[in-house]
Amino acid sequence: MVDEKKEKEPQQPMFSKRDVFFIALSFVVVFTFFFLPTPSGLTHEGQVMIGILVMAAVLWITEPIPLAVSGLLIMVLQPILGAMTAEEVFSSFGNKAVFFLIGAFMLAAAIEKHGLHRRIALKFLSFFEHNPRVFTFGIMVSCACLSFIMPEHGVAALFLPIVVSILVAMKLIPKQSNFGKVSMLCVAYGCSIGSLGTLIGGARNPLTIGVLSDLTPAVNITFFEWMSYSMPVVFLSLPLVWLILQLVFPLEITDVTEAKKEINKQVTLTGSISGKEKAVLGILALTVVLWILFSSHQYFGLAAVAILSAVLLFLTGAISWKDVEQRVPWGIILLYGGAITLGIGVQETQAGAWIAHLLFTAVGDNVYLVLLIMIVFAVLLTNVMSNIGAVAILLPIGIAIAGNIEGISPLLASMTIALCGGLAFMLVIATPGNAITYSSGYFSTNDLFKAGSIANVLCIIVIFLVAVFYWMGVLGL
């Protein structure tokens, strides 16, 4: 007779000791700032907002609770602790950039559902089958281009199985083949660099325009203007980072015949383009055109175009609400909303201006030195926490710096921080793209740090030069 009684498996605790420690630490930080005497030049509301800012940094770096929950906690603590009214906090969550992000995620969901991104990726790769070096560059360029129209982590997830199947077909040994290392790192770095190019590539981009649009006076950036600011960084960084990978990991193979065969095989398997794919492609093209033509329109702006595109996807049957529920990362939207309220709170309470004053006291008011420090700090911070979290923390400080030093405008400071926020090259935890490609087993954490640290230094120089000579010199930002 079978004993129906089963031993109960010991349940895992909801939080580890580490998680409990950092949760407790974050609350200790907030209440310490709440009860401490307020220093000269800072309001009590501003001091509380700095406490919430530090708490956000602790939670976003250590992640003891989901990032989305941290975003909600940031929102609710502001009225509870008297830093901002509930009406001010929750109304800022309704920022138009939030709705732009929702529409963009729905568009990306349709592209992913019908495999349109896979078809585009294979088509791109087929242009770079000539030799190993050109092929790895093709991987990086393909990932970057696809990151212009969908979130970078989605592009990394798409390219992982495609590139792995090619490396397996070539019989390359993980962690031993430099070609394997370079190919995978080209996926990770190509996605990160490409995500700088348009407002769709990463949530930190619409976060930036959302914060800028809430300033007084408002600073509004169109879809095309963002591209005109960011594309020089993309065009310079892609070949330079690719060259770094070639020098750090010299390729050991000279023939990519098997890679060609595998790509051709996968292209054949995709078959001819379907009617739904054509519909999605048409809506995508229409959306980009409308973003370029009408993103600065008083009524029909970026968010309205994004939501209109989402509605068209439903009307054409390209996606269903079930697809949206499954594929749209709602947690990112909650995190994003919390980040916007944090930035507005730091600005409205003058906490950012007070922090900026401390920075000037420490380093002086040299425009170029302050700009370089801002770039270096943003790159370092984005390597140890989520990209959007790093940008959310630094944006209000950067905007405050712009208000206190001649030569740095809010737009210049914000673009600098936003683009630096995408340069997470050194650590696996820095961005989903790094973690996704690391899971392939073709490179080690040491390989990532070795190549990423050099790539980060190079990109710091690129952004500094673009900021000084192009943004400040040519465009007069």
Domain ranges of the chain: 43-93+115-273+329-474
Would you place residue 6 in the very low, low, confident or very high pLDDT band (cuts 50, 70, 90)? very low
Q: How far, in Å, are 186, 231, 234, 237, 272 from residue 425 at the CA level?
A: 11, 19, 15, 12, 37
Q: Does the structure show a pLDDT above 50 at 5? A: no
> Phi first, then psi: what are they for 207, rounded to 5°?
-60, -45
Show the tokens assigned to 219.
């600073």
Would you place residue 89 in the very low, low, confident or very high pLDDT band (cuts 50, 70, 90)? confident
Show the tokens assigned to 416.
């600098």
Q: Does the structure show a pLDDT above 50 at 186? A: yes
Q: Which residues contact 355 (CB under 8 A, 6 or more apart)?
A: 50, 397, 400
Q: Does the structure show a pLDDT above 80 at 155? A: yes
Handedness of CA 119, 123, 125, 131 (dihedral sign): positive
Report the pLDDT value the prediction gives residue 268, as an integer from 0 to 100. Answer: 77
Q: Which of 145-159, 212-226, 391-405, 441-455 has the highest mean pLDDT?
A: 441-455
3-state secondary structure 380-409: HHHCCCCHHHHHHHHHHHHHHHHHHCCCCC
Report the pLDDT value the prediction gives residue 206, as an integer from 0 to 100. Answer: 87
Give CA angle at 53 (52, 56), nearest 5°: 85
Q: How far apart are CA 250 and CA 177, in angstroms?
A: 10
Are the C-beta atoms of residues 280 and 313 closer than 8 Å to each other? yes
Q: Does the structure show a pLDDT above 80 at 93? A: no
Give CA angle at 463 (461, 465), nearest 5°: 65
Q: How far apart are CA 61 and CA 393, in angstroms?
A: 11
Report the pLDDT value the prediction gives residue 273, as an integer from 0 to 100. Answer: 83
Are the C-beta atoms of residues 63 and 26 closer than 8 Å to each other? no
Show the tokens assigned to 222.
């169109």
Q: Does the structure show a pLDDT above 80 at 7? A: no
Q: What percent of the chain has pLDDT over 90?
A: 31
Q: Which residues contact 407 (CB under 8 A, 6 or more apart)?
A: 367, 472
What's the DSSP call for residue 425? Answer: -
Show the tokens assigned to 140.
């990086």
- Helix and strand element counts for the chain (H, E): 22, 0
DSSP-based three-state secondary structure for 204: helix
Alpha-carbon dihedral angle through residues 153, 156, 157, 163, given to the nearest 10 degrees: 180
Q: How far apart are CA 228 and CA 20, in angstroms?
A: 45
Give CA angle at 140 (136, 143), nearest 5°: 135
Total Cβ atoms within 10 A of residue 17: 7
Q: Which residues contact 141 (CB under 8 A, 6 or more apart)?
A: 124, 128, 190, 238
Q: How far apart are CA 137 and CA 295, in angstroms?
A: 33
pLDDT tens string 352-377: 778 877 776 777 778 898 899 899 98
**Tokens 């730091």 -> residue:** 346
Top pLDDT among 194 and 157 is at: 194
Would you place residue 296 in the very low, low, confident or very high pLDDT band (cuts 50, 70, 90)? low
Rounded to the nearest integer, the mean pLDDT of the chain is 85
Would you place residue 232 in the very low, low, confident or very high pLDDT band (cuts 50, 70, 90)? very high
Q: Does the structure show a pLDDT above 50 at 110? A: yes
Can you spell out the DSSP letters for 5-48? --PPPPPPPSS-HHHHHHHHHHHHHHHHHHHSPPPTT--HHHHH
